[in-house]
Amino acid sequence: MTNSKQQAWWESESHKELDRIYGQAQRKVIPLPRQRTEQGMTPIRDVLRPEIGDPPPELFWTCEKCGVIPPFPLLSHWARRSCACEREAREAQRLEESQAAWRAAQIYRTFGGWLGAGWSDTDLAECTFARYQRPLKWQQEAWKAVTSWFAGMRGNLMLRGSFGTGKTHLAAAICNALRERRVTSLFVSGPKYFAVRNDLIKHDGDFHGIDRLAISTPLLVLDDADKAHHTDSRQETYWLIIDERAKAGRPTVVTCNDMSNLLATLGQAAFSRLMNGVQSVEMTGKDYRAK
């Protein structure tokens, strides 16, 4: 049986003796060794040189800006060294490749990829402000009005008029110009949007997901918005998107051929919300596709 009054080990004479001998030494302040830089370090090239020999002359080269660039040693051989100019050029190329990949992904997403596979129309990426043909006065006025709106992007923009006058071109050009500013946008025609939405509903897909994207994107383009066949459900969807975007202060661009058809398609409530503070640009002329 253990004696409860047995002396604790740290109170024993043997522990006190060990503490007297070693404890004091452990409590002494031991000076830190000098830094290796103070002791002198041998450059790695001098360590390796006996193994790999002197650097070959052909690995020395001259940069006009950086001067003579010597090689550097590896474990078994000498290697050409890049100068600061080359490193900057490689970084610039890497950045450009990264930006090009981002632009390609954004083009796909903007012009239909956001709706799912098979819906993208990347040809619209070729539509720019500079490529819009404007030999006639009304075309020049339309181009000027759209580019002026784009500079501030306050309120909504309506492009209305006859077929083949470049409404879709200018609407797509807004998206392409925004991409250069690294601002995202989404482009869709009214008939395509509801074709995708109905397909998602039919197959128990997340149709609310594309509604949320349409509401939250910084800029939404509804091309040919007057061509979607009227139903109460579509009016409710248009109202949801346009009203939520208006409350968040996000601009919407709409193109149409006929204002009365647009009113019937959107419904009075959504049409009224869309037209509140809208800038309307009339584009009526000869159909260039009829040539």
Domain positions in the chain: 106-284
Of 36-50, 159-173, 271-285, the least confident:
36-50
Burial 84-123 (b: 16+ CB within 10 A, else e): eeeeeeeeeeeeeeeeeeeeeebbebbbbbbbeeebbbee
Confidence tier at 34 by pLDDT (50, 70, 90): very low
Q: Are 282 and 161 in contact (CB under 8 A)?
A: yes
The per-residue pLDDT for 88 is 92
Q: Is the pLDDT of residue 291 over 60?
A: no
Pairing mode, if any, of strands 78-79 and 72-73? antiparallel
* CATH top class, domain 106-284: alpha beta
If you average pLDDT over residues 125-132, what whole number do you get?
Answer: 97
**pLDDT tens column, 74-113:** 888 899 999 999 999 999 999 989 888 999 999 999 999 9
The per-residue pLDDT for 33 is 46
- The predicted model scores a pTM of 0.72
The per-residue pLDDT for 52 is 76
**pLDDT tens column, 217-253:** 999 999 999 997 888 999 999 999 999 999 999 999 9
Treating both helix axes as pointing N-terminal to C-terminal, what angle do 232-248 and 268-275 enclose, rounded to 10 degrees? 30
DSSP 110-138: HTTGGG-TT---GGGGG--STT----SHH
The per-residue pLDDT for 289 is 57
Which residue, among 110, 68, 96, has the nearest Cα to 223 in the 3D structure?
110
